[in-house]
A and B are shown apart, each in its own frame.
Chain A
Amino acid sequence: MRVIIIGNGVTGVTAATTIRKLDPTAHITIISAESEHFFSRTALMYLYMGHMQYRHIKPYEDWFWPERNINLLHAAVQSVDFNAKQVILENHTRIDYDKLLLATGSLPRTLGIPGENLAGVQGFYSLHDLAQLEQYSANIPRAVIVGGGLIGIELAEMFYTRCIPVTFLVREPYYWGNILPEAEGTLIQEHIRAHGIDLRLNTTVSEITGDAEGRVKSIITNKGEEIAANLVGVAVGVKPNVSFLENSDLKINRGVLVNQYLETNLPDVYAAGDCAEILPEPENKPVVEQLWYTGRMQGETVAHSICNRRTVYNRGIWFNSAKFFDIEYQTYGQVPAVPAPETDSLLWQHPKEKKLVRINYHQPSGKVLGFNLLGIRYRHEVCEKWLKEEKPISYVLKHLREANFDPEFYRRHEKEIIRTFSRQLSAVLS
């Protein structure tokens, strides 16, 4: 079986290593235009900050690939001839496949405003973006970041470590307002401001102006204010990287449409990771998942489907994590920005330090729905088990200590947390 995987991100690589486990004889080739070897995209920020060099963010040493008999091809794909079952490279080489996995990832979303093509306006997703950022952020008096999500705050931290003043534009009334409840967002934005970042809420950019050489000179906000800056980091999300597949028989909506086995409409063609749009069941809305974790899980699932062990993609209990400057964030289960109906929220915040625990539960039945944690670590397995088994909130509070994953000698807050939560619970019950 000749398997070609387009894309050497976490999805493509997880698929390749899983296929190798399932089928010791499969001929596996991973094609990537971006880099010769797999690297951790989530770690790109640490290269700019000087915590690591490129070789450190390669999760496997270079011997790994020949030893696993996985071929790496550093080349750009121009198109796919689905009828002939061939991948066509930009140098017009054609490569045959028996099974094809599309794991092409994302591209940064654009703003659609005047001045967006000026030099110094860029997203932050790829190695190439990093190189550009190095080039355009040299000796600049100020950078502007547009978009209050995870990449936005990463860029803010990166510039902070290079002593570059930052103006950070966030469309929502508080940081990451479409994902986080207000208490969490507010806590984080206080932390952002404590680093001297000029954070502007309810603000977007309406125009970018350039100088005679075609470089960014300033931006104009939706409030009409002009801010001088020589770099604009666009962090308004990503979109599936599928344009080279358009005008073929492959069904594409936002991403490559796949069923729950991650199969496309064409035989022996699969898609997974950021570039896939999953139609789980007819009545559900299609989803595009763009996380490291979902990429990894989809890569594993699709490998089974490719090796004739069709497996339904099931991401299980939702989880995610991030770090906002120095505040670690973990979430397990469902904690939406605005609570769903029949959901109650228990919230504890440390009076002085930047620590927060929120537990959502279903009000009539009491079953636990989700956890949000800032500055405190909980055990993934424990939270997952409680959520899966729909443990009542009373059980969770009684066993809260078991979930804590903070390092040794860290001050534990269970007593205060449980006291606060019990008070909130009894207020609900009375």
Chain B
Amino acid sequence: MPTSDQSLAIGYNYHDQTDTLQKVGLTIFTLGLLLLFLPSLPVSSVLGQGLFWSGIGLSLLGLVLYLIQTYQKSHPGVRNNGVWLRGSTSRGNIAWVTAVGLTGFYIILYWFPFLIEPQIRALDSFSQWLRNKPADHWLLYGTFYTIAILIMGLRALLKYRHSPYQIIRTLSVMFFQLGLAYLIPYTLQKLNEPEFYFSYFWPLKYDYLFPGTVGYLVNEPGALGVFMVFWSAVISLVGVPILTYFFGKRWYCSWVCGCGGLAETAGDPYRQLSDKSRAAWQWEVAIIYPVLGFIVITTLLLWINSFMSGGLLGSLSDGFAQTYGFFVGSIFSGVIGVGFYPIMGSRVWCRFGCPMAAYLGLLQKHFSRFRITTNGGQCISCGNCSTYCEMGIDVRWYAQQGQPIIRSSCVGCGMCATVCPRGVLNLENGPREGRYQPTTLISPENLRILS
């Protein structure tokens, strides 16, 4: 909480004009959410299923109504009005309630899924239809996750409707989540094929290149398993460098990835909460690269172990997957990564923990045509770019000196360029030569901030 450094504006007289239709939308949304809890009461399974699906339907209907009415009232353009004056988006009471709620959901999901057994059972018929299997808590999670990206994607489409870049990018994350991270893996299950996520790669989906997974897939009947191994290896080791060379890290982090997809849609109201300080950057570097190193070394060791028929590590693979999965997969990317959206911003996991982001970032920094160009001497140092950078990059530091922004953490969401009131910033792919060249129209502050 920035208690010692409040905005002069905070808490004076900000008021939104919320009209009747918006209020009706919010009411329906809340009623829908309440219905989701009702299957936990001692009711028949048919009734429970009805209540659950009505809850999903009503909450979506209410939210759509609210969002459309909210955004159609304003002209297309940057609308961050009141973001730092409203508690919900500036770490106020509502933000804390939301954070505790989200975190609680993750804790129940990971460690106490029996508490939501009635809700899971309500998904059984759907699960049978989708993948010929009864529902489990991961199906419930995947369904909620996908719905969140789709509905909040709609919000992003409405909010950023003046920006073709944001529209196309948002459609992209919605498409990849719904198709490659939801429908296709479950359809594969229905066809008795391995559940496989074509939009997740090593080292984020670290086990896709572990000997255990590879062996399992290759031994699957039919050619699909072999193709999956081929796909994983080729994209991770060849596709990633090539695509990052041409487009920067963004092709994955803010266009394809599911974690990024949630951050860009459901996390969009919280993007301004990322920590922009130099200290946060030091933490970032100190955490993310060791995570990547850990994954790389472990993968190598496991392969050596596999070639030595277990002579090196024995059955460490299982133990590793469990430990790493618990600390990094569950706690870091789930509980902190998403649960703390309303407090720490939407990209905590991507910024501090994701080994894929670290790998892509190294490529982006040293081997890419991507940069964010600053337009000559036009920067007025206002700070909108830095404030709305979800990765906590102090974009202004570079812009006010006329330097191109080439940071390994930049996911290329384009929001700095979208919110800049002077049109100073532009995401560009161009020749690598002179990529770091600052403009001659301002003299730069020569001292570097992180040496």
Contact = CB atoms under 8 A, between A and B. Distances in A.
Interface of A: 10, 17-18, 21, 40, 42-43, 46-59, 61, 63, 68, 127, 130-131, 134-135, 137-139, 161-163, 194-195, 292-293, 296, 300, 316, 319, 321-323, 325-326, 328, 330, 377, 379-381, 384, 405-411
A47 B422 contact: no
Given A56-B386, A127-B8, A379-B375, A407 B164 contact: yes
A316 B441 CA distance: 9
Contacts of B126: none
Interface string B427-451: 1100000000001111101110000
Contacts of A40: 380-383
A63 B282 CA distance: 14
B377 A53 contact: no
A134 B13 contact: yes
Contacts of B414: 407
A405 B387 contact: no
Given A138-B13, A292-B380, A330-B423, A59 B396 contact: yes
Contact of B9 (A134, A406, A411): A134
18 contacts: A43-B380, A51-B384, A52-B383, A54-B5, A54-B7, A54-B8, A130-B8, A131-B8, A161-B81, A162-B14, A293-B377, A296-B377, A330-B423, A377-B426, A384-B441, A406-B426, A408-B428, A410-B165
A342 B286 CA distance: 63
Nearest to B17: A163
Given A50-B85, A52-B383, A319 B378 contact: yes
A107 B206 CA distance: 61
Contacts of B381: 10, 40, 42-43, 59, 292
Contacts of A162: 13-15
B400 A59 contact: yes
B325 interface: no
A137 B162 contact: no
A411 B77 CA distance: 16
B270 to A, nearest CB: 15
Nearest to A407: B165
A53 B6 contact: yes
B321 interface: no
A407 B426 contact: yes
Given A53-B10, A57-B382, 6 more contacts: A48-B9, A49-B82, A130-B8, A292-B381, A293-B378, A328-B422
Contact of B84 (A51, A194, A316): A51
Interface in B1-23: 2, 5-10, 12-17
Contact of A53 (B84, B168, B384, B422): B84
B421 interface: yes
A350 B183 CA distance: 43
Nearest to B444: A21
A58 B2 CA distance: 14
Contacts, number: 175
Contacts of A194: 75
A164 to B, nearest CB: 9
B366 to A, nearest CB: 23
Nearest to B278: A61
Nearest to A130: B8
Q: How large is the interface on B (under 10, 10 to 19, 20 to 34, 35 or more residues)?
A: 35 or more
B81 to A, nearest CB: 4
Contacts of B423: 321, 328, 330, 377, 405
A63 B85 CA distance: 27
A146 B172 CA distance: 46
A56 B422 contact: no
B384 A52 contact: yes
Contacts of A163: 15-17
Contacts of A135: 12
Contacts of B211: none
Given A296-B442, A326-B75, A43 B417 contact: no
A384 B376 contact: yes
Contacts of A59: 381, 383, 396, 400
A296 B379 CA distance: 11
Contacts of B447: 68
Contact of A21 (B85, B400, B446): B446
A366 B125 CA distance: 75
Given A381-B441, A384-B441, A411-B164, A50 B383 contact: no
A63 B382 contact: no
Given A319-B377, A405-B426, A409-B164, A43 B383 contact: yes
Nearest to B439: A381
B380 A300 contact: no
B7 A53 contact: yes
A68 B447 CA distance: 9
Contact of A50 (B17, B82, B377): B82
Nearest to B5: A55
Task: Specify which of B13, B77, B383 lies most central, judged by the most chain A CB atoms within 10 Å of its CB.
Answer: B383
A134 B8 contact: yes
Contacts of A52: 7, 84, 382-384, 387
B97 interface: no
B277 interface: yes
A50 B81 contact: yes
A326 B165 contact: no
Interface string B385-398: 01100000010100
B376 A55 contact: no
Task: Specify which of B85, B396, B417, B423 lies most central, judged by the most chain A CB atoms within 10 Å of its CB.
Answer: B423
Contacts of B81: 49-51, 161
